[in-house]
């Protein structure tokens, strides 16, 4: 009886967090993305993530259930739902033949409650300056700390108004060593993400703030334009 109750508890936790990241319920999500650098022109584009559905693969002679999500550039991300939460377990680029899985990046914990915290390894990725033949990016590793700061947000998007959303805030900082002229750049990163039940990520705002006027602050706004159910 105790085992049965424990199993129900794990199932309910898994179901709760998977409602906010419904890989088996939504076929595709289309987002409008705007990158707003302080010292450069804005960049605007759209991207679509397509959920392929549940797949069984064998890793080290062990069967695993994963959920591949295909992006428009041919990159596939692989997610796994466990009793600890939803993890992004790996990526396969268009040129790759094999799936490379790792310990994973926790997207949402199984326990969605106010003030819940966790950490992930991440990278800075926003463009600092654009030149005629290349984009100058400060790409460096850092650790970002996440926290559930609200359970009842209302978010307006082009695809509708979503109530009772959870909001997650992430914060981190790092240093980027540029060339001899640029030197060391301090970067503070903040991320705000909103998830809606039975839909998933509906909005994200990420800011990378440098300590130099040469690059200033770059902000990325990603918002849901459309989604298709299975």
The tens place of each residue's pLDDT in the chain, 230 residues long, gives: 443 333 333 344 445 557 899 998 889 999 999 999 887 788 899 999 999 989 888 777 778 899 999 998 899 999 999 889 999 998 888 887 777 777 789 999 988 999 999 999 998 876 666 666 667 777 888 999 999 999 999 999 999 999 999 999 999 999 988 766 677 889 999 999 999 999 999 999 999 998 888 788 999 999 999 999 98
In contact, 205 and 170? CB cutoff 8 Å: no
Q: Does a structural domain hold residue 159? A: yes
In contact, 147 and 168? CB cutoff 8 Å: yes
Q: Which domain holds residue 224?
A: 2-48+109-229
Q: Does a structural domain hold residue 145? A: yes
Give me the numbers of helices (H) and strands (E) for the chain, helices first please. Answer: 1, 15
Dihedral class, residue 101 (left if φ above 0, else alpha if ψ from -120 to 50, else beta): beta
Residue by residue, DSSP assigns 131-189 as: -SS-EEE---EEEEEEEEEEEEEEEEETTEEEEEEEEEEEEEEEEEE--TTT-EEEEEE
The SS3 assignment for 14 reads helix
Q: Does a structural domain hold residue 127? A: yes
Cα separation, 220 vs 38, whole angstroms = 11
Residue 24, pLDDT score:
86
Q: Does a structural domain hold residue 20? A: yes
Q: Does a structural domain hold residue 149? A: yes
For β-strands 127-130 and 184-196, DSSP reports them as: unpaired
Cα separation, 153 vs 162, whole angstroms = 8
pTM of the model: 0.86
Residue 13, pLDDT score:
44
Residue 221, pLDDT score:
97
Q: Does a structural domain hold residue 91? A: no
Instruction: Give the chain's domain count.
Output: 1
Q: Does a structural domain hold residue 80? A: no
Q: Does a structural domain hold residue 21? A: yes
Residue 80, pLDDT score:
92
Residue 9, pLDDT score:
37
């Amino acid at each position: 009886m105790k085992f049965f109750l424990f199993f129900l508890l794990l199932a309910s936790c898994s179901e709760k967090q998977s409602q906010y990241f419904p890989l088996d319920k939504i076929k595709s999500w289309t987002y409008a993305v705007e990158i707003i650098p302080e010292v450069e022109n804005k960049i605007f584009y759209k991207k679509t993530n397509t959920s392929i559905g549940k797949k069984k693969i064998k890793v080290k002679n062990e069967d695993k259930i994963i959920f591949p999500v295909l992006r428009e550039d041919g990159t596939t991300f692989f997610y796994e739902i466990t009793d600890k939460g939803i993890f992004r377990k790996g990526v396969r680029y268009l040129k790759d033949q094999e799936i490379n899985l790792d310990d994973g990046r926790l997207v949402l914990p199984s326990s969605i409650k106010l003030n819940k915290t966790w950490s992930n390894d991440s990278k800075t990725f926003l463009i600092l300056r654009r030149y005629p033949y290349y984009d100058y990016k400060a790409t460096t590793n850092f650790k970002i700390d996440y926290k559930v700061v609200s359970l009842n947000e209302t978010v307006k998007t082009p695809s509708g108004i979503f109530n009772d959303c959870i909001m997650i805030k992430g914060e981190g900082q790092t240093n980027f060593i540029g060339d001899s002229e640029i030197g060391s750049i301090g970067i503070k990163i903040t991320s705000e993400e909103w998830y809606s039940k039975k839909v998933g990520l509906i909005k994200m705002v990420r800011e990378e703030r440098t300590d130099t006027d040469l690059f200033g602050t770059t902000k990325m706004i990603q918002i849901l334009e459309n989604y298709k159910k299975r």
